[in-house]
Amino acid sequence: MLYRETGQFKTSYAADAAVFPILQDRIGIAAILAFAFLAVPLTLPDFWISAVLIPILVFSLAAIGLNLLTGYAGQISLGTGAFMGVGAYACYKLTTVFPDANIILLIVLSGLAAAALGALFGLPSLRIKGFYLAVATLAAQFFLSWCFVRVPWLYNYNISGAIEVPTRTMLGVPVTGPNATPVTRYLLVLAIVVGMTWVASNLVRGRIGRMWMAVRDMDIAAELIGIRLFRTKLIAFAVSSFYCGVAGAMMVFLWFGAAEADSFNIDLSFRVLFMVIIGGLGSLTGSFFGAALIWGLPIVLRSLPDALGVPIRAATVEHIQLMIVGALIIFFLAVEPSGLARLWQIGKQKLRVWPFPY
Amino acid sequence: MRVTHIVLGLALAAAPGLAAPAHAQDSIYIPLLTYRTGPFAGSGIPIANGMHDYLTMLNERDGGIGGVKLNIEECETGYDTKKGVECYEAVKAKKPVIMNPWSTGTTLQLIPKASVDKIPILSMAYGLSASAVGNDFPWIFNPPATYWDGLSMIFKYIGGKEGGLEKLKGKTVGFIFFEGGYGREPIPLLEQFAKDYGFEVKMYPVTVQEMQTQSAQWLGVRRDRPAWIIMWGWGAMNPTAVKEAAKINYPMDHLVSVWWGGSEDDARPAGSSAKGYITLNFSAVGANFAAIRDIQKYVVDKGESQVAAKDKVGESHYNKGIYNSVLIAEAIRNAQKLTGRKVVSGEDVRRGLETLDINAARWSQLGLPEFGAPLKVSCTDHNGHQATYLQQWDGRKWVKVSDWVAPMTDRVQPMLDAAANDYVSKDPAWPKRTEPCDRSS
């Protein structure tokens, strides 16, 4: 009744091709953005901002990165964690060399470093496909993890092998380091994530995105209609790694505050892959859903007994939480194998015909 | 589909109720970051029990400290840095007076936050060695000894057995370590020793994935045949290493571990073949102390402890947990004395930690005579560099085989100063110490 496009006429191609062609969608997205930019910083306690929302946004961006590669271009990668690490270490090195440079600029530049390495490790994708490609990217994961430990130059010869984030300011306000307030860091992360999501949504709807999807659906057919496979796949690897690299740099600079090589291990790669699969392959909205579910659900479950006043021990809660999250993942995938994004889409379809379904 | 909606609805409905519950102002809040799950649970469980049970005993026996109840709460980290930081953020709102990260990775992340949030960090004999320098790290404490102290004590022991460290010339010393901040910490001093005494160091790093299958590392040991092996392991890595060493018939009395490899559960799985395995330790083993008998009476017998069996009370790592809690309790007591307030804050406890002075008489007063070496912390020295002793596995239990061994402070201190200076100079915005210094009470 409320969510209906009847009477909304498109009079130009631009209006027809808009990201959000329906008025209600535009209102919805504006409301979400207003909520995220204004209501959240004003109302939510620090714990929610720094331990829940910042991680979810960072992981969303990483999931978008992997989704561009796996969901849109059809190339499986298990190297996400390592590419995030490349971004983090690159940003660390950059800020050591240019201490006065704007930190947002450095975070974006470190994405470029990750993109270069990602393209390099994407080279085998021309000849290797499917599971075999997954194994090849696994090699990238292990090689880069090894580098983070064994190349002391990367962490400035620090004895403990960790990278520590120095304080950097923007317009006199500390944005990284211990003095940066959660709200400042949150707004910065949010701005970067929103901006890059907007770029990604235009990318996948444009020529490059269509090339990716053609390659994903059938690479021989794509080649026959004149798409250069090699270039398309490499672009996918580079763009995907760029997103992951920025996410990694944000993870260390705007969330952790310090990191060691182990922060970027294979578990991180798998975690992001789960987010993509549960959220929905080939959907940007799904990346946010997946990140929110995989990161947010355990936190909600962990704090439930405390909030309800049930005295359960921390370790027991942890065990139960693992079981519930595992069961829910299977449940969601069984109900809708295409992920949460598909559920969202079905919901919107139903809403369109409500209250007179047919 | 309906079920999905119900689940989602429940999840959403639950969300707003999750704000931190209000805390009573008449208690002192002490969160404990523990890990009873995951591959490090083997080491984490006895320590968590020791910490929890001693503080609970103070609540039950004395009604807390200075008449103020302690509000003890565990947060499960699984030894995962991300979860550790999440726990920190979660408990921060409840105004903890002290944090015990129990993970070098988490400690490194909390160090810069401590001075901002005004919560002191007690990383007992782990964490960043350089944080012993109180002038640069006023909020971080790592008594009773740093890893560099530990390594120097191991070398004192080796020197004693070899008849002088010069005798190591031309020999090989193996170093098997957990591949991470914790395991890498002693390497600079080890390399310095190698240069000074002319021996060769062979490194055997063990990653988290390899912890339970160290065949590659021990194959290397078989090939290199090092005269001594020094171990820096944690969790499932320790028992595996001891078993592998026994399997290749390595002389066990030449395998020396830092204090974190000194749990019964590290040696027991290898049984009698682990006989001779040596580790450092800084707290006594056994339950024959008045305070530990009180723990049994007030906590374990009442079913308030999580120990699997009664005989676990008094084991090596359990007692290290007690040691940690004794430091917390003494710091709170000092803070109450210094401020005259009963309900103390993180700032007060920082002052209490800086005036820690547990001499032999005080250990006896606590019902723990000879439990640890006398410990004294000062404003400049947040560590104490106290002596530790060596214990040897006799096939069934740990036996003390040395007196208290003092570290080579002359070798360690310059390195600490250099490392602290290095840490601080990397961040021009690192805060200068403004906290005044209290006289020891």
> In 3D, which of A247, A268, A317, A295 has the Cα closest to residue A68?
A247
Q: Which residues of A touch B17 (CB under 8 A)?
A: 307-308
Give the pLDDT band of residue B17 (cuts 50, 70, 90). Answer: very low
Q: Which residues of A touch B78 (CB under 8 A)?
A: 318
Chain B window 305-324: which residues touch A at a Cβ cutoff of 8 Å?
A: 306
Contact flag B74-A257 (C-beta cutoff 8 Å)? no
pLDDT at A73 > cutoff 90: yes
Q: Does the residue B395 lie in any domain?
A: no
Q: Residue A236 CA to chain centroid, in angstroms?
A: 15
Domain boundaries, chain A: 22-353
Give yes or no: residues B112 and B137 share one domain: yes
Residue B13 sits at the chain A interface (C-beta within 8 Å): no
Q: Which residues of A touch B414 (CB under 8 A)?
A: none
- Domain boundary, last residue among B247, B262, B281: B281
Residue A318 sits at the chain B interface (C-beta within 8 Å): yes
Average pLDDT over residues B194-210: 91
* Tens-digit pLDDT profile for residues B282-339: 999 999 999 999 999 999 999 889 898 888 899 999 999 999 999 999 999 999 999 9
* Tens-digit pLDDT profile for residues A219-231: 899 999 999 999 9
pLDDT at A332: 82
Q: Does the residue B432 lie in any domain?
A: no
- Higher-confidence residue: A211 or A307? A211
pLDDT at B11: 45
Dist. CA A79–CA A69, nearest whole Å = 11
Q: Does the residue B399 lie in any domain?
A: no
Give yes or no: residues B166 and B70 share one domain: no
Q: Does the residue B325 lie in any domain?
A: yes
Peptide bond into A355 cis (omega under 30): yes
Give yes or no: residues B52 and B83 share one domain: yes
Residue A181 sits at the chain B interface (C-beta within 8 Å): no
Q: Does the residue B96 lie in any domain?
A: yes
Residue B383 sits at the chain A interface (C-beta within 8 Å): no
Q: Look up the domain containing B290 and give its range.
A: 23-145+285-387+416-426
Give yes or no: residues B289 and B422 share one domain: yes
- Domain boundary, last residue among B223, B249, B281: B281
Number of domains comprising chain B: 2
Cβ neighbors of B203 (< 8 A, separation 6 or more) are: B175, B177, B187
pLDDT at B301: 93
Give yes or no: residues B73 and B189 share one domain: no
Q: Which residue of B has its CA nearest to A257?
A: B109
Give yes or no: residues B28 and B141 share one domain: yes
Give yes or no: residues B292 and B242 share one domain: no
- Domain boundary, last residue among B249, B281, B313: B281
DSSP assignments along B156-175, one per residue: HHHHHHHTSGGGGTT-EEEE
Cβ-contact A253, A170 below 8 angstroms: no
Q: Which residue of A has its CA nearest to B304?
A: A313
Q: Does the residue B407 lie in any domain?
A: no
What is the architecture of the domain spanning A22-353?
Answer: Orthogonal Bundle (1.10)
CATH number of the domain to which B249 belongs: 3.40.50.2300
Residue B375 has a CB neighbour count (10 Å cut-off) of 23
Residue B22 sits at the chain A interface (C-beta within 8 Å): no
Q: How far apart are the first and last CA of chain B?
A: 67
Q: Does the residue B41 lie in any domain?
A: yes
Contact flag A263-B17 (C-beta cutoff 8 Å)? no
Give yes or no: residues B277 and B157 share one domain: yes
Chain A window 191-250: which residues touch B at a Cβ cutoff of 8 Å?
A: none
Q: Which residue of A has its CA nearest to B14?
A: A304
Q: Which residues of A touch B90 (CB under 8 A)?
A: 47, 51, 303
Dist. CA B377–CA B386, nearest whole Å = 10
Alpha-carbon distance values, A66 to A116, A200, B334 (Å): 16, 12, 53
Give yes or no: residues B30 and B125 share one domain: yes
**ipTM over 0.90 threshold:** no
Chain B window 193-222: which residues touch A at a Cβ cutoff of 8 Å?
A: 205, 208-209
Q: Tokens 């005004």 map to which residue?
A: B118
- For B292-347, give the secondary structure using H, E and C: HHHHHHHHHCCCCCCCCCHHHCCCHHHHHHHHHHHHHHHHHHHHHHHHCCCCCCHH
- Higher-confidence residue: A329 or B249? B249
Chain A window 15-74: which residues touch B at a Cβ cutoff of 8 Å?
A: 45-47, 50-51, 55
Q: Which pTM value belongs to this model?
A: 0.86
Q: Which residues of B touch A177 (CB under 8 A)?
A: 112, 427, 429
Give yes or no: residues B122 and B235 share one domain: no
pLDDT at B15: 43
Q: Does the residue B295 lie in any domain?
A: yes
Cβ neighbors of B271 (< 8 A, separation 6 or more) are: B395
